[in-house]
């Protein structure tokens, strides 16, 4: 009887662990999506509409800060300058802002 229970626990533990890990990752992605939406809304308002400005958000982990990455194609670097204040005002604590201009953006 005790062996059966131990076998059941040993069988279910990896499945439950995986489900808990996926829940944690999904929650982090959801928070990153909310941060991205807030930053995108501010940048859109600052630039008076949709632009070629790309915004990517990575959620923070135990080992690194979150990251907000702004990029614009070559020749459109002014978009970053014009939206910088709105982006920085909406970037939460614990996030770094990385700017990438031109090149293979």
Interval 9-62: pLDDT, tens: 889 999 999 999 999 999 999 999 999 999 999 999 999 988 899 999 999 888
pLDDT band at residue 4, thresholds of 50, 70 and 90? confident
From CA 5, how far away is CA 11, in angstroms rounded?
Answer: 10
Helix 78-90 / helix 2-46 crossing angle, nearest 10 deg: 130
Domain segments of the chain as ranges: 2-101
Mention every residue, 6+ apart, whose C-beta is less than 8 A from residue 69: 54, 55, 56, 57, 58, 97, 98, 99, 100
User: Which CATH number is 2-101 given?
Assistant: 3.30.300
- Residue ranges with strand state E in 1-105: 54-58, 66-72, 95-101
What is the distance of C-alpha 51 from the center of its chain?
20
Interval 57-99: pLDDT, tens: 999 888 999 999 999 988 888 899 999 999 999 999 889 999 9
């Amino acid at each position: 009887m005790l062996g059966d229970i131990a076998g059941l626990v040993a069988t279910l533990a990896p499945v439950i662990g995986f489900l808990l890990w996926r829940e944690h990752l999904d929650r982090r992605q959801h928070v990153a999506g909310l941060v991205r939406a807030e930053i995108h809304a501010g940048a859109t308002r600052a630039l008076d509409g949709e632009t070629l400005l790309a915004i990517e958000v990575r959620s923070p982990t135990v080992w690194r800060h979150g990251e907000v990455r702004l990029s614009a194609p070559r020749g459109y670097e002014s978009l970053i300058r014009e939206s910088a204040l709105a982006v920085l005002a909406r970037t939460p604590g614990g996030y770094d802002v990385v700017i990438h201009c031109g090149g293979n953006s």
